Structure 1
Amino acid sequence: MPTLLAIILASLLGGVLSVAFAAIVALSARASWVPMLISYAIGALLGAVFLEILPHAFELTKNIEHMAATILFGILLFFILEKLVIWRHCHGHECEVHTPDSDHGEHTGGHSHSAHADHSDHGRSGIMIMVGDTFHNFVDGIIIAAAFMADFQLGVVTSLAIIAHEIPQEVGDFLILLHSGYTKRQALIFNLLSSAATIVGGVLGYFALQSMQDWVPFVLGIASASMLYVAVADLIPGLHKRTELHATVQQVTLIGLGIGSIGLIKFLLGDLA
């Protein structure tokens, strides 16, 4: 099989499988499950960042300080991006907040419609996670291309490993989009569009492997910054709205399961990857 065709098929199959699995989980879930399962999504994001993406980025980078600066830059970048999204939802002075005790956050102004506030707040998380996931999928495509160009069997094994560790993250992404106020159909479409970045990365990696390889650590750093920002700045604060002991135990358990799922797959497939 021609190498380019193998890269395209592996990238396409990986995206379709992970998104399809995420859709099955999300479509079978009741609406009342989504706020609870968002804890799992946080764990999957943190696990992907600290157990998978960042170690790979630090391994590839030639300068640890530059990588740390890239992550810092990414966090600031997504803070600015989030501000732009907030401004896009605003309409002049109505969006300004001048009282620190407002119940509805910085973008609702004098309005009392909490549903609109929640949609704006959660909508930012949905956009942010799609940006980070698209970066991640793009890099996955480059990695698949590099593996296939080195050895066909290595390409097949690497693709399987990427598919396996993508599935928990895609499930988390799907849940975050539903939590953000998007419909199941919209979440499916957004995830499919994001997965197309794997094919783009694979094809570009095939034609310009050396130059693209130099960008892998930078893109990984930006992707990890995006996912970290979403988990810590946007999603975790929402968990503190429930202070009951059983809710806290449930949240911690699900965060642990999310992290554990990434760690388990990394452990089981470590020798293969």
Structure 2
Amino acid sequence: MDSQTVLLVFIAVGLDGLAGLAGGALSERWLRRHLPALVAFAAGTLLAAVFLEVLPEAVEAIGDTAFQWALGSFVTLALLEWALGHHHPADTAAGQAHAHGHAHGHTHTHGAPTLPAALLASDALHNVGDGAAVAAAFLVSPNAGFATALAVIVHELPQEVGDYALLRAAGWSRARSLVALGGVQLTAMVGAAAVLLGTRHLPSLQGTVLAIAAGSFLYIGAVDLLPELRRGPDSRQRVGGFLCGLLLIAGLYFAERVLGVHG
């Protein structure tokens, strides 16, 4: 592990953190218009990254055990989301204007005292996993790292926009919501640092983390995001976004495997 790899990891994690604050920077009109395509794009990048980069690298590192870790990750995430309750990013962000109206009127949603805490705790755990996945991927190769980081960043945007909307709906101010989400984003650094340090003593950790990431990415892309392609009248925008996400990761894969572009 060299200093350049470490630098790339933390730049990628930092960009992921900035994506988490996008809810307060983007206009509600822009979100309502473009978020369906963005969600579909995120689904495409996640699924392509799983099958073209993350899972194959995990299998190469730890063998068929990678499939067991991926399945365990998929099932665990499903159980956690069922236990905690989850929201669809496009639905939540599309209702952001309604949420802002409640916030400005100081009207709190049902369960507002517990919703923000549960939401932020779940988000923190998710970000730890994202940071770990990005670090493990960059340790394999720059191409795997770029593909994984891109998948993480583009699915982070609609998710965090939705979380921002929910915090505002719970009566939190704009500043308090952004500070809370910014603090939660820092947990990705913890995940990245843990992998960078842990692989020095346990080299197989790299492949295990990638397998776990593959399972979680597959769940998020196929269960949380992909169904959004079937919602609403703007199907062309959604399908176009999905195909663009697939093609972007496939292009990175093509450059690495076929043209021999390596980091």
**Do they superpose with TM above 0.5?**
yes
Letter in 1 for 2:83: L
Q: CA deviation at 1:54?
A: 0.9
Distance 1:240 1:140, change over 3 A: closer
1:22–1:167: 8 Å Cα contact kept in structure 2? no
- 1:166 aligns with 149
Q: Secondary structure at the match of 2:14?
A: helix
Q: Distance in 1 between matches of 2:52 and 2:125?
A: 20
1:126–1:176: 8 Å Cα contact kept in structure 2? no
Q: Distance in 1 between matches of 2:216 and 2:188?
A: 14
Distance 1:77 1:45, change over 3 A: same
Q: Distance in 2 between matches of 1:165 and 1:232?
A: 16
Pick which of 253-262 and 72-81 moved more: 72-81
The question of 1:135 aligning with 2:135 is answered no
Gaps of 5+ in 1: 88-114, 148-157
1:133–1:223: 8 Å Cα contact kept in structure 2? no
Deviations 1:143-169 (A, max 9, x none): 65x67xxxxxxxxxx458624651353
CA RMSD, aligned part only? 3.9
Q: Distance in 2 between matches of 1:79 and 1:69?
A: 15
1:125–1:234: 8 Å Cα contact kept in structure 2? no
Pick the aligned partner of 2:240 from 229, 253, 271: 253
Q: CA deviation at 1:116?
A: 6.8
The question of 1:197 aligning with 2:191 is answered yes
Gaps of 5+ in 2: 87-108, 168-176
Deviations 1:41-99 (A, max 9, x none): 1112112211211111122223x2x3333222222211221122139xxxxxxxxxxxx
- 1:31 aligns with 31
- 1:235 aligns with 225
The question of 1:48 aligning with 2:46 is answered no
Q: CA deviation at 1:257?
A: 0.8
Q: CA deviation at 1:215?
A: 2.8
- 2:97 aligns with none
Q: Secondary structure at the match of 1:272?
A: coil
Deviations 1:156-208 (A, max 9, x none): xx4586246513531321222213435683555433432442223212323x1
Letter in 2 for 1:229: Y
Q: Distance in 2 between matches of 1:124 and 1:230?
A: 18
Distance 1:17 1:134, change over 3 A: same
1:12–1:196: 8 Å Cα contact kept in structure 2? no
Q: Secondary structure at the match of 2:262?
A: coil
Pick which of 162-171 and 257-266 moved more: 162-171
Q: Distance in 1 between matches of 2:17 and 2:254?
A: 22
Distance 1:54 1:203, change over 3 A: same
Deviations 1:96-130 (A, max 9, x none): xxxxxxxxxxxxxxxxxxx879xx9xx99997776
- 2:82 aligns with 83
Q: Distance in 2 between matches of 1:172 and 1:222?
A: 17
Letter in 1 for 2:243: G
Seq. identity, %: 19
Distance 1:127 1:78, change over 3 A: farther
Structure whose alpha-carbon radius of gyration is higher: 1
2:136–2:209: 8 Å Cα contact kept in structure 1? no
2:147–2:249: 8 Å Cα contact kept in structure 1? no
Distance 1:215 1:232, change over 3 A: same
Letter in 2 for 1:174: L
The question of 1:67 aligning with 2:54 is answered no
2:54–2:214: 8 Å Cα contact kept in structure 1? yes
TM-score after normalising by structure 1? 0.63
Deviations 1:227-252 (A, max 9, x none): 2112222223344332x3xx222211
